[in-house]
Structure 1
Amino acid sequence: MPPVRVPEQPTARRAEMATTEQASSAAEVARGYFGALERADRNAQREWYAPDMGGQIYGVIGPTGRAGMIAYFDELYAAIPDLRLEILDLVAEGDNAAVRWRTTGTFAGPGHFQGLEPNGARIDIEGCDLVRVKDGKVRHIDAYTDGATIARQLGVLPPQGSPAEAGMTRAFNVKTRVETRLSGKLEDVAEGVWLLRGGFPGKTMNVYFVRDGNGVLAFDAGVRSMTHAIAREAVGLGGLTRVVLGHGHPDHRGAAPGLGVPVHCHSADRAITEGDGGMSAIDFSRLNPLGRLLMPRLLKRWDGGPVKVAGTFEEGEEIAGFKVVHLPGHSAGMCALWRESDRVALSSDCFYTLDPQTGRKGHPRVPLSAFNLDTEQARASIRKLAALEPAAAWPGHADPVVGDVRVQLERAADTT
């Protein structure tokens, strides 16, 4: 049954009548609702909403419910009191209707809109709403508007083609070049494994790409400023499939929220990954004076915020040809990925080869006690990793441990 364009054509076949009647009902509800908006009849508009209605206006609000939608229009009409809406086209099928509309008005106030103070600007835009109907009421709305045009008409963005827009474009490109310089070039680590260094200062945040089917997974997600670099490099390797976190601290989950792929972590780190990144457990008083001053600010800057965890893993599970090794201490769910065939360990923050307070690189050492949940447990985890006798152990920051890795890690556990 094709969509029904309103007004309904009288030549509809009898066999289509039931569906056509259903479509007309959706069309009538949509026309009634938008007719109320055309008349600026706020009471009638509200009456068309089902008690459990939901929806969103993409780029503006949502998802929200009936009360949120009413509050949005209250704000809109207070900011643009002469707002008028015109239906340009309406098509219905089943319980759904699509409405293309045009709205005009003056941002005269006295109310604000999205935090902006009224400036007298005129708006004239088109948009489209997808409306789902149930029991003669609007059950759900997905609204799409031209945000860039609205911003230009309100004066938030400069006019298209103007010198101001050219200046804004130049500033954006400068920012992009700075972000690019803050990330290094992709490095080969082992077969099917690559390293991207990035972050400020010193490009000391490590993100590892591991072949995962036709694409790659990211082991750890570095800091927020690495988001675009991770996404860009992953495309060249076949595309990012998922993020696997060695642990959920801010400088390891930082880019994860912006990558648009599922995020996985050890079950014991789920709470901090979805929460404050373990910040509440850090004892900054154990750092030197400069560290106490800078680290809280840096961690906040590095963090991309809480991450929705799509799934968890446990000791011994296989991930993209590697096995999970649980190494608690730095965090409850600290993990490494271990590949027996070439004895490669991707070890996250099981150990440091960088002093985060001074920026100096050196021999492996136990992570600073200020950042550990249990430092003695962290020592035991370093010994556990050493017992695997890796050929190379690649940490979450700075440089790998190679050579006699077992001896170096055991020394770190015993003496640092």
Structure 2
Amino acid sequence: MKQIQLSPSVMKLEFFIGIKVSVWIVKHDQGVLLIDSGLGIFSRAITKQIGYIGELTEIVLTHGHPDHIGGVKALSREGAIPVMVDERELPYIFGEKSYPNRKKAQKPIAIEEVKPLDDEGLLEKGLRAFYTPGHSPGHTCFYHEAEGVLIAGDLFTSKKGELQDPVPAFTADMDLAKRSGKDVLQVISPTVVSPCHGKDVWL
């Protein structure tokens, strides 16, 4: 695991399993918020790192693909800690529908309750949620406005210091994903864009 301090409040934890898979820890006045949970095998390392920083208050998901929700059960203490995602992702993460361009539904998330995003609660913790569909129907990015960090999930990848399109094989609608990426960068001017599968891009 590699720790990358993106700003005073935002740390990226980067794991390598053939590709880079990342999660983010956001420190706030009440404790620590985790964005994405990675795979279940990462849970112990993530829990240990959170313990150095503060008490985990909630887990927020950029979307519901397995490499983003695999550690939810362990990290949420089997649902005792709130887990939130854009409500458009709910049928997919509970296995009720298959993601677009997928033949079958994925294995349901390993806890009983996932709540829709609480925009007001996120704002209190310094984050703005931006709906960025395309990679998945409810894909969401999170912007720490005060510190200029865009936590991009799978909206982008990166190569040689430049933002790239998301991974085609796992993107439901590439044209829509490209528009979402362009649109969000027209609304905000981040200092750094932090993708899940790639190095951070400083703008």
TM-score normalised per structure 1: 0.43
Q: Secondary structure at the match of 2:6?
A: strand
Q: Secondary structure at the match of 1:270?
A: helix
What is the one-letter code of the residue matched to 1:310?
V
Identity over aligned residues, as a percent? 26
1:296-335 equivalence runs, <5 A: 305-313=109-117, 317=120, 319=122, 320-335=125-140
Q: How far 1:248 moved relative to its partner?
A: 0.7
Change in Cα spacing, 1:279 to 1:364, as seen in structure 2 (3 Å) is farther
Aligned to 2:29: 213
Q: How far 1:279 moved relative to its partner?
A: 6.0
Matched, 1:255 2:71: yes
Preserved contact between residue 199 and residue 223 of structure 1 (Cα < 8 Å): no
Could you say which structure has the larger radius of gyration?
A: 1
Aligned to 1:371: 170
Aligned to 1:272: 92
User: Which of 8, 11, 18 pairs up with 1:194?
Assistant: 11
Preserved contact between residue 36 and residue 59 of structure 2 (Cα < 8 Å): yes
Higher RCO structure (Cα 8 Å, ≥6 apart): 2
Deviation digits for residues 273-297 of structure 1, max 9, x if unmatched?
2227x8653559xxxxxxxxxxxxx
> How many angstroms apart in 1 are the aligned matches of 2:101 and 2:161?
23
1:133-152 equivalence runs, <5 A: none
| RMSD of aligned alpha carbons | 2.5
Q: How far 1:390 moved relative to its partner?
A: 1.4
Preserved contact between residue 274 and residue 307 of structure 1 (Cα < 8 Å): no
User: Which of 182, 185, 189 pairs up with 1:386?
Assistant: 185
Change in Cα spacing, 1:279 to 1:213, as seen in structure 2 (3 Å) is farther
Deviation digits for residues 316-367 of structure 1, max 9, x if unmatched?
645121111110111111111113223221111111126xxxxxx7632222
Give ranges in structure 2 of 5+ residues lacking alignment.
none
Give ranges in structure 1 of 5+ residues lacking alignment.
1-182, 285-299, 355-360, 404-416
Deviation digits for residues 182-229 of structure 1, max 9, x if unmatched?
x23x32111211111124125x11110001334211111111110111
- The farther-off stretch of 250-259 and 192-201 is 192-201
What is the one-letter code of the residue matched to 1:198?
F
Give the helix-richer structure, 1 or 2: 1
> How many angstroms apart in 2 are the aligned matches of 1:398 and 1:307?
29
> How many angstroms apart in 1 are the aligned matches of 2:16 and 2:181?
25
> How many angstroms apart in 2 are the aligned matches of 1:376 and 1:307?
33
Matched, 1:281 2:93: no
Q: Secondary structure at the match of 1:328?
A: coil
TM-score normalised per structure 2: 0.84
> How many angstroms apart in 2 are the aligned matches of 1:237 and 1:200?
25
